[in-house]
Structure 1
Amino acid sequence: MPTRRYDDSPGLGSLYARTVKATLRKAEYEPDTDGLTLELPRATVDQDHLAAYREVTGFSAGPALPVTYPHVLAFPLHLDLMSDPSFPYKPMGIVHLSNTITQLKPLPMHAEFAINVHSSPERPHPKGTVFDVLSSVSVDNEVVWTDSTALLSRSSGTPSAHPDLLPDPELEPTAFWDLRGNLGRRYAAASGDRNPIHLFKLSAQAFGFPRQIAHGMWAKAASLASIERAGGLPEAYTVRVDFRKPLLLPSHVRFGHRRTDNTIDFALYNGDQTQTHLVGQLQTR
């Protein structure tokens, strides 16, 4: 498996241009199937960028990083992986199905991090093919954080395949959020994820949405920030979310969560609770 190592995080501007080029490649293109691993051995946190991320997601200030923030640090490597000529799927149009993060210990915000990114073998899905982009973060040669992002490349699919889904909890709302139309642009500035479906009504309509939609990873971060404010988060845990229905912007939504023993179930619904946008479960380690 080839490895590419970086001295600094790759620039997003050139990566987005390469993503468009990768999406337009010819159907008869035959990719390299050996896989690719990307490494960024020395990553540090820009404190102004971290403050902007906390502001848009709702996480409180503190000595440790928000649990979802390392995903932002790894995101340029995700784009680099999926736009590389060796990658077997066209990157634009891929659907984000779920995300699972394990924090083994809090990540000090002034530490130096080593980031590793690669993809998993594919597996069948009723609507196409699913693969995971896998990320890990190490501090002093110890893995302290991992991330698995499940992505769907749509095709004719395998009707007999059974997708892995979290159960839908029945939750009373614990918070109500009014989300403005510029939320996608604010989160894009803090995360680097400038997918056009999140930015403007016209750019979202070009991809089949009636108007712009919220980032899935913003919804996960905001959900965990709400749980943090309501009673705190453990130091070590695994938290998974499934993304169900796109969250259109602007929008009024309901958030609910329930603590039982070492588990927190949570979900994000539309205003009248007839649609579920996100389902999540946190388990203390």
Structure 2
Amino acid sequence: MSDAREVVLPAVPGLGGLYGRGAAGAARLALRGGGSRRVQRPLPDVVDAVDGVRVDAAHLTAYQRLLGEPGTDALPAGYVHVLAFPVATALMVRDDFPLPLLGMVHLANRVEQRRPLVLGDVLRVRAHAEAMRPHPRGTQVDLVVEVATDAASDRADGVAWRGVSTYLAPGLRLADAVDEPAAERTAFAPPAPTGTWRLDGDTGRRYGAVSGDRNPIHLSALTARPFGFPRAIAHGMYTASRLLADVGAARGDAFVWSVEFVKPVLLPGTVAVSTRPADGGGYDLAAWHARTGKPHVLGSIHPLP
């Protein structure tokens, strides 16, 4: 994205306002498409940027307490996602973004933490979209966020944290795409659990209060039912970040953290989890329905040299 136009935002935007704009944008895309379920336009060649981002200590503490992270000055990798990802969401509500924010499904997440970030760092956030491509159920796209320390204080250090969130726009096909069969997922055999989570019905509301993500599907059964869920569902990044917290300090200071979101967690619910050392280093991560054995989140942590 070296030739992309940089759009400087005055601050990290709030997700509530972005979701409102996303709903309006989905309506505009529907009108432009005239009922077509084909994606005609390319991704915008822009990078959204925010400089001078500072962490609020009380906000960091609230996140640490909710997710089970230690109360230190280090910013957990999941917290950096919470802090910075609204900048990527701002991309998805642009008039020239070809996919509607409303109805997007979070398929996977991959984070490279190249070095720790800490309370007191002044951060630079950059976000862009790339790799729009076919998916058996529609069109997928990657939203890439990079976080570095502020240019004025630590220019030479480069990007400290890089996150790639893969999203699916169900039912929308690229204009020139050839339908591909769905890849078969390896059958999941639950390992011996290393822990169990008992998630209350307000888990989505509590994570929404910390993350700013108050999507109706996470808040209550009443607000989730219009979207096809019998009850509220947990945020995918809540479950992924809690697995990361369960590994604790053993993950090290520099690592790659990858997760695939398989099946939502209905709230309230009981989730079996496993965070076990992997062959060759790092950890294998899994969270699954305690009774049926069906997976919710699968992932890994691998150390960076």
Report the TM-score when normalising by structure 2: 0.87
CA distance in 2, matches of 1:164, 1:65: 36
1:217 aligns with 2:237: yes
Letter in 1 for 2:110: T
Residues in 2 aligned to 1:83 and 1:165: alpha-carbon distance in whole angstroms: 32
CA shift at 1:35, angstroms?
2.7
1:10-89 matches, cutoff 5 A: 10-25=13-28, 26-29=30-33, 33-89=43-99
Matches within 5 A, 1:1-285: 1-25=4-28, 26-29=30-33, 33-139=43-149, 140-141=154-155, 142-155=158-171, 159-160=179-180, 168=188, 170-228=190-248, 232-260=250-278, 261-285=280-304
Structure 2 unaligned residues grouped into runs of 5+: 34-39
Q: Secondary structure at the match of 1:20?
A: helix
Displacement of 1:17 after TM fit?
Answer: 1.7
Q: 1:243–1:166: structure 2 CA closer, same or farther, 3 Å change rule?
A: farther
Query: For residues 283 and 42 of structure 2, what CA distance do their matches in structure 1 show?
Result: 41
Percent identity over the alignment? 34
Residue equivalent to 2:37: none
Q: Tell me if structure 1 keeps the 8 A contact 2:190–2:293.
A: no
Q: CA deviation at 1:33?
A: 4.2
SS at match of 1:227: helix
Superposed CA offset, 1:12-35 (max 9, x none)? 343222111012123425757443
Q: Distance in 2 between matches of 1:59 and 1:163?
A: 35
Q: Deviation per CA, 1:232-260, whole angstroms, max 9, x where unpaired?
A: 22111001000000100000110112103
The answer as to whether partners of 1:132 and 1:149 remain within 8 angstroms in 2 is yes
Gaps of 5+ in 1: none
User: Structure 1 residues 25-34 or 135-144, which shifts more?
Assistant: 25-34
Query: 1:18 and 1:61 mapped to 2: Cα distance?
Result: 35
* Counterpart AA for 1:28: R
Separation (CA, whole Å) in 2 of partners of 1:134 and 1:163: 24
Alpha-carbon separation, structure 1, partners of 2:74 and 2:128:
25
CA contact (8 A) 1:125 1:163 kept: no
Partner of 2:49, secondary structure, is strand
CA gap of 1:168–1:120, structure 2 versus 1, over 3 A, is farther
3-state SS in 2 of match to 1:217: helix
Contact 2:7 2:47 in 1 (8 A): yes
Q: RMSD over aligned Cα, in angstroms?
A: 2.0
**Contact in 2 for aligned 1:31/1:85 (Cα 8 Å):** no
Structure 1 runs (4+) greater than 6 angstroms displaced: 164-167
